[in-house]
Amino acid sequence: MAGKLEASEWIWRDGEFVKWEEATVHLLSLAVQFGVSQFEGIRCYNTPKGPCIFRLDAHIHRLINSCKIYRMVPDHSIETISEACCAVVEKNNLKNCYIRPMVLRGYGAAGLNPSNSPIETAIPTWPWATYLGDEALEEGVDVGVSSWNRPAPNTFPSTAKSGGHYTNSILVKMEAQANGYAEGVVLGPEGRLSEGGGQNIFLVDQGTLVTPQLDGTLLPGITRDAVFTLAEELGLTVKRKPVARENLYTAQELFFCGTASEICPIRSVDRIPVGDGSVGPITRQIQKRFMDIVTGQAEDSYGWLTPTSGS
């Protein structure tokens, strides 16, 4: 389970490295007041070839797209931000770590018009192991369907990974843990399955992988996209379609996927066991293939890994 954040030494900030404890923002910045920030969560894995970042290019492109939606595109190019992600890992001498590129509106304007507030870019990175815990990856997690729904389409842009959006996920997480669950599962405004609190979700139904279609309520996850690729490689059929809540209770297998959660089995929903309550074979097959690639134990045939050293 994710615990206290472990500080590193350096943070990349608008073209230079600053000390971790000096990377501050004003209390009246728009990022602090109103959550006006766009960000990514990216994993770096230690491989036999050294530290490698998973799907760096896809993450930075999504970051820039989030910024475009909120009209706050940074001065730095995709190439500059990508190179800075590698550089900050190297600068901190990290191996397995989490990278958090952030673009935020700083201190300047009063009110809700952000145009007079500066756009700042920063990239912290820190050591981080499994989000839901090693035991979760092996045995699965217990989850509950949240009473909080995802906002309706055209309320928030679901394709943007924006700081302010995550207040909804925080409510989901707090409720789940108060009810004794590791994580919450969220429905959309019409009562159909959307995603986890901070992850996408897949079901296995009669040997077919099923996941909610992009309907304006869920983030198009980069790990979700990787699961599609691995499923095709493994000869699995994938259906993207509306999923009713009750399908969670009748699925043979369930798993979360995301940068933080990786491929995490779900063993119960609302205290109803998934299948026989153990990790299913398809989930385990996808999980193993995914981890083998990202840790360099198998060939990176999809070009997902970027060495931080450039070698």
> Which entry of 161, 173, 239, 241 is annotated as an active-site residue?
161
165, 70, 167, 63: which is closest to 121 by C-alpha?
A: 63
Residue in this structure with the two tokens 């679901």, named with its chain if needed: 158
Long-range Cβ contacts of 72-76 (<8 Å, 24+ apart)? 72/36, 72/38, 72/103, 72/105, 72/114, 72/119, 73/119, 74/103, 74/119, 74/121, 75/119, 75/121, 76/14, 76/15, 76/121
Long-range own/partner contacts, residues 231-235 (CB < 8 A, 24 or more apart): 231/286, 233/289, 234/285, 234/286, 234/289
How, if at all, do strands 37-39 and 16-19 pair? unpaired
Residues 6+ apart with CB under 8 A from 78: 57, 60, 61, 64
Query: Cα separation of 41 and 129, whole Å?
Result: 13
161 among known catalytic residues: yes
User: What is the distance between the alpha carbons of residues 67 and 63, in angstroms, rounded to a whole number?
Assistant: 6
Residues tagged active-site? 161
